[in-house]
């Protein structure tokens, strides 16, 4: 047998093996595509259709605001960022509409007029995340008075000396750039704190506190139990945040001597130290605002808990006690309590877990979403019968 013959046959063997490998790769990729598409349809079936009627919500549609109106008790100042671009990144930013809207209406419902200020005054940039919009957020967009105030914000330096009962710093990544070194903000915070007035801040809003020095020469944040947008939350979605921002908020607060309280990612967490109240992220806004009312000496007005807040409770139960406890809570809410629950938020947290490589958590949260859908269907059947 000649070497040429062997070489020729070897060539065909190699070609055959390559063909088989390509065939298996093609079959694998085809199967993978089918699985992904099937999962996509299944995942989409878990998400309820959007409620288009919610977009027309007005304050008259919200009993929290229209019923049992409380007489005016005073004024609260809400402060938003004027920054529209994150440093040199070219990425747009502004204040978070939901954080302003929900706090604004909490203050109003509890008898406080609300002024809105910003470092530059005028109309500041706003971030509207349509996926997270709820009834109060749409009501805010449809509220002519609120929209006038956000289009004509007061320049923060013009608020010095005004008789506000409390001040609230709204989040939004722009706050990282124009809150920390603003002298008017530092003056107002120092004055409020030293006169036993209430200060609240949520998400990136606590950036207003990091460079405040009290009359005794010590940082305001020193030995305070506070929270704010965490390093993990920041870096998950903006991997180059350390290059974009002047600092990471958690790092800076701790550098100033704060006892930073970190909760679960993208779930409610409150820091309460006397008259200083802080929230970790947007999902902490309701609690910060209502605890500010309590710190002002008033029992917060009753408010129907939103579907988003109930979803956060379920997620916290899952993080703390596991899937079975979370299922019990879903069942109690949807079947026994007839309460609303936003299962889209649970699905989002499942995706966040997948992004972190936590496939077990992703699977468990998808299971919770499917269970919530099943409970909703059962509730509808009970109502029909």
DSSP 3-state assignment of 91? coil
Q: Say how many domains are in the chain.
A: 3
pLDDT digits (tens, 9 = 90+) for 204-242: 999 999 999 999 999 999 999 999 999 999 999 899 999
- Rg of the Cα trace of the chain? 26
174 φ, ψ (degrees, to nearest 5): -60, -25
DSSP 3-state assignment of 341? coil
| Cβ-contact 131, 89 below 8 angstroms | no
Helix-helix angle 343-355:359-384, to 10 degrees:
170
Do 156 and 228 fall into the same domain?
A: yes
**Shortest CA distance to 108 belongs to which of 146, 162, 156, 150?**
146
Do 187 and 309 fall into the same domain?
A: no
- C-alpha distances in angstroms, 30 versus 2, 21, 34, 36? 42, 14, 6, 10
> 29 lies in a domain?
yes
- CB under 8 Å to 9, separation ≥6 — which residues? none
Question: Average pLDDT of the chain?
Answer: 89
Check residue 337 and give its pLDDT.
80
> 180 lies in a domain?
yes
Do 81 and 228 fall into the same domain?
A: yes
N-terminal to C-terminal alpha carbon distance within the chain? 85
Do 261 and 335 fall into the same domain?
A: no
Do 111 and 228 fall into the same domain?
A: yes
What angle (nearest 5°) sits at the alpha carbon of residue 141, between those of residues 97 and 270?
Answer: 30
Task: Tell me the percentage of the chain whose pLDDT exceeds 90.
Answer: 80
Do 105 and 252 fall into the same domain?
A: yes
Do 164 and 105 fall into the same domain?
A: yes
DSSP 3-state assignment of 292? helix
Check residue 93 and give its pLDDT.
97
- C-alpha distances in angstroms, 27 versus 23, 31, 35, 156, 227? 6, 6, 12, 63, 51
Check residue 45 and give its pLDDT.
56
**Cα(81)–Cα(272) distance, rounded to whole angstroms?**
23
Check residue 97 and give its pLDDT.
97
**Cα(303)–Cα(109) distance, rounded to whole angstroms?**
9
User: Which residue pairs, CB below 8 angstroms and at least 24 apart, start in 140-146?
Assistant: 140/97, 140/100, 140/101, 140/104, 140/105, 141/97, 142/56, 142/57, 142/58, 142/59, 143/58, 143/59, 146/101, 146/104
Check residue 3 and give its pLDDT.
44
| Cβ-contact 249, 235 below 8 angstroms | no
Check residue 194 and give its pLDDT.
97
Confidence check: pLDDT of 37 > 50: no
| Cβ-contact 225, 272 below 8 angstroms | yes
Do 36 and 154 fall into the same domain?
A: no
> Considering 261, 295, 329, which residue would you say is the last residue of a domain?
295
> 343 lies in a domain?
yes
Confidence check: pLDDT of 35 > 80: no
Do 170 and 205 fall into the same domain?
A: yes
Do 142 and 290 fall into the same domain?
A: yes
- C-alpha distances in angstroms, 223 versus 255, 257, 261, 317? 11, 6, 12, 30
Please tell me the number of Cα atoms within 13 Å of 296 on its side-chain side.
Answer: 27
> 229 lies in a domain?
yes
> 300 lies in a domain?
no
Do 268 and 358 fall into the same domain?
A: no
CA dihedral 89, 94, 96, 101 (to 10 degrees): 180
pLDDT digits (tens, 9 = 90+) for 271-329: 999 999 999 999 999 999 999 999 999 999 999 999 999 999 999 999 999 999 999 99
DSSP 3-state assignment of 116? strand
**Cα(20)–Cα(256) distance, rounded to whole angstroms?**
63
Burial zone of 93 (CB within 10 Å; 0-12 exposed, 13-18 middle, 19+ buried): buried
| Residue range(s) defining the domain that contains residue 332 | 305-384
Give the mean model confidence (pLDDT) for residues 242-247.
97
Do 66 and 112 fall into the same domain?
A: yes
> 177 lies in a domain?
yes
Give the mean model confidence (pLDDT) for residues 12-31.
53
């Amino acid at each position: 047998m000649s070497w040429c013959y062997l070489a020729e046959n070897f060539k065909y063997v190699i070609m055959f093996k390559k063909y088989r490998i390509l065939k298996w790769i093609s079959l694998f990729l085809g199967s993978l595509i089918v699985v992904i598409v099937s999962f996509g349809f299944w995942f989409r079936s878990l998400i309820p259709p959007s409620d288009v009627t919610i977009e027309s919500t007005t304050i008259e549609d919200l009993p929290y605001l229209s019923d049992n109106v409380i007489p005016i008790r005073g004024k609260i100042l809400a402060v938003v960022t004027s920054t529209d671009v994150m440093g040199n990144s070219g990425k747009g930013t502004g204040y978070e509409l939901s954080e302003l809207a929900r706090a604004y209406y909490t203050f109003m419902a509890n008898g406080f007029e609300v002024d809105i200020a910003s470092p530059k005054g005028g109309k500041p940039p706003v971030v509207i995340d349509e996926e997270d919009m709820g009834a109060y957020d749409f009501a805010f967009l449809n509220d002519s008075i609120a929209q006038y105030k956000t289009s004509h914000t007061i320049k923060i330096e013009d608020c010095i000396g005004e008789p506000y009962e409390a001040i609230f710093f709204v989040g939004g990544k722009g706050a990282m750039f124009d809150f920390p070194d603003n002298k008017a903000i530092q003056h107002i915070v120092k004055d409020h704190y030293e006169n036993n007035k209430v200060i609240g801040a949520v998400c990136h809003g606590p950036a207003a506190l990091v460079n405040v020095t009290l009359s005794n020469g010590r940082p305001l944040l020193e030995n305070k139990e506070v929270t704010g947008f965490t390093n993990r939350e920041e870096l998950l979605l903006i991997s180059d945040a350390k290059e974009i921002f002047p600092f990471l908020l958690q790092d800076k607060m701790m550098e100033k001597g704060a006892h930073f309280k970190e909760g679960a990612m993208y779930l409610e967490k409150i820091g309460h130290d006397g008259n200083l109240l802080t929230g970790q992220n947007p999902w902490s806004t309701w609690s910060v605002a209502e605890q500010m009312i309590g710190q002002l000496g008033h029992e917060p007005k009753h408010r129907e808990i939103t579907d988003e807040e109930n979803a956060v409770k379920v997620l916290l139960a899952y993080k703390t006690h596991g899937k079975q406890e979370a299922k019990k809570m879903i069942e109690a809410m949807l079947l026994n309590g007839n309460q609303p629950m936003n299962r889209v938020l649970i699905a989002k947290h499942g995706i966040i877990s997948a992004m972190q490589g936590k496939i077990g958590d992703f699977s468990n949260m998808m299971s919770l979403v499917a269970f919530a859908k099943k409970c909703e269907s059962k509730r509808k059947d009970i109502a029909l019968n």
